[in-house]
Structure 1
Amino acid sequence: MMILSENVHTLKVIDSSLRLIVIPLSVASMWLTLTNHQDNEIYGKIEFSNLKGLKFLVSISAISAGYALVAVISSWVKNLMNKAWIFFVCDQVVAYLMVASGGSFGEIVYLAYNGNPKVTWSEACSSYRRFCGRLNVILALHLIALLCFFVLSLISAFRVFTRFEPPLSSKEVEGERT
């Protein structure tokens, strides 16, 4: 029983640590995105508000940071309610939202570096190097936060599904009938 208690405490510390790590990562990616802009004499100014994918990234980063803060606080509150299912569902939803925003953001970064010759979009990073450099940093921060939520999703799934008995095999069902 002592080993189980130590494992539960270790899992809780890892869970809280990952949630605490997500908060500054998401806030930093939001701040970098919101302040990312560059002016070019030939092509004009580019900023996050010009690209809907960046707006989506900012929204999801805000949601993930807010949820992580609420979750880390509520995870240490005793007897609030059975939070395992709530954490499981919310962790899954936030992880999927982060995957979606990461995908749209990844497409923006790809197009900024490579363009799309089929629709005559040229690449933009040769003209907006600083803007694109910050996009790479934002992408890295977002991917690290996404990995944290991936692990959090596994932890919350483990917590929910270890509360149930495994299903009976066909031999066990036949043994109960006789």
Structure 2
Amino acid sequence: MDLSRSGRDSGDIAIPVREVSKSSKSGKESGDIPIPVREVKSSRSGKGVPPVVMAPTIRLGNAPQAAGWKRGVGIIDLILRVCAITATLAAAAVMGTTSQNLPFFTQFFQFQASYDDFPTFTFFLAGNAITCAYLLLSLPFSIVCIVRPHIVGARMLLLIFDTLALALTMAAASAAAAIVYLAHNGNPNTNWPQLCQQFNEFCPRVSGAVVGSFLAVFILVALVILSAAALRRN
């Protein structure tokens, strides 16, 4: 059947149909250029996806070594505290029991020298007694620092109060040392006599007490340095 003729006869317009070859499967034959598409995952839109948490790196090799070092510092701290207690107690006891009487003409008229005749020596006795009492009370905290070497609060308290005890003991020992120097050498400008020429028992005992107090000062300095070093390693 001739469609062109029938279309002309009937008045219809014939539309030519062009056959399109199916070449979409082959990109090379149809001339299409494949475009790669990269899938981007947004972290904001992923509500159900849990965040990735990186675990911190822990070096287990240095922990036992640091604990052992701090425990050794704590043992030295305890030993030094016992030595400082001995020094301050001896200084306070010697000063508190120091007195001497010098007979003059008769036994009813005598010269007497005692520590409480000098306010400086009284301050010396009180300062060393307070330091000794504090050091006794600080022994449990020092033991805690040995048992638990990583604790910070007890070590910080020891550092603060050790510094205060150091200042008190240093002030008492320095003031007493000035009086002992005047007692040994005197001062001609102010007519201060050399008392140690007459009181040959009083001055050596007082001098020994001052030496013991300065020994406690040096020990307290070592305690402050040890506490600061232990806190620095934390």
State if a TM-score over 0.5 links the two structures.
Answer: yes
Q: Give the drift of 1:2.
A: 2.7
Q: Which runs of 5+ in 1 are unaligned?
A: 164-178
Instruction: Kindly name which structure, 1 or 2, has the bigger radius of gyration based on alpha carbons.
Output: 2
Residue in structure 2 matched with residue 6 of structure 1 by the alignment: 68
Residue in structure 1 matched with residue 197 of structure 2 by the alignment: 126
Task: Supply the distance in 1 between the matched residues of 2:182 and 2:140 (Cα, whole angstroms).
Answer: 39
Q: How does 1:63-102 map to 2 (within 5 A)?
A: 63-77=130-144, 82-102=153-173
Provide, for residues 138-176 of structure 1, a one-character-per-residue CA deviation record: whole Å limited to 9, x for no partner: 12211111111010111122233443xxxxxxxxxxxxx
1:156–1:4 Cα change, 3 Å: same
Residue in structure 2 matched with residue 174 of structure 1 by the alignment: none
2:127 to 35, 48, 60: 60
Paired residues of 1:115 and 1:122 also in contact (CA < 8 A) = yes
Task: Supply the distance in 1 between the matched residues of 2:230 and 2:70 (Cα, whole angstroms).
Answer: 9
| Greater RCO structure (CA 8 Å; 6+ sep) | 1
Q: How does 1:28-177 map to 2 (within 5 A)?
A: 28-42=90-104, 44-77=111-144, 82-163=153-234
Task: Supply the distance in 2 between the matched residues of 1:130 and 1:67 (Cα, whole angstroms).
Answer: 31
Q: Give the drift of 1:74.
A: 2.2
Q: Which runs of 5+ in 2 are unaligned?
A: 1-62, 105-109
Aligned-pair RMSD on alpha carbons? 1.8
Provide, for residues 20-74 of structure 1, a one-character-per-residue CA deviation record: whole Å limited to 9, x for no partner: 1111211111111111000012461000100111111111111111111111122
Residue in structure 2 matched with residue 176 of structure 1 by the alignment: none
Q: Larger % of helix: which?
A: 1
Task: Supply the distance in 2 between the matched residues of 1:161 and 1:93 (Cα, whole angstroms).
Answer: 20
For 2:202, the aligned partner's letter is: F
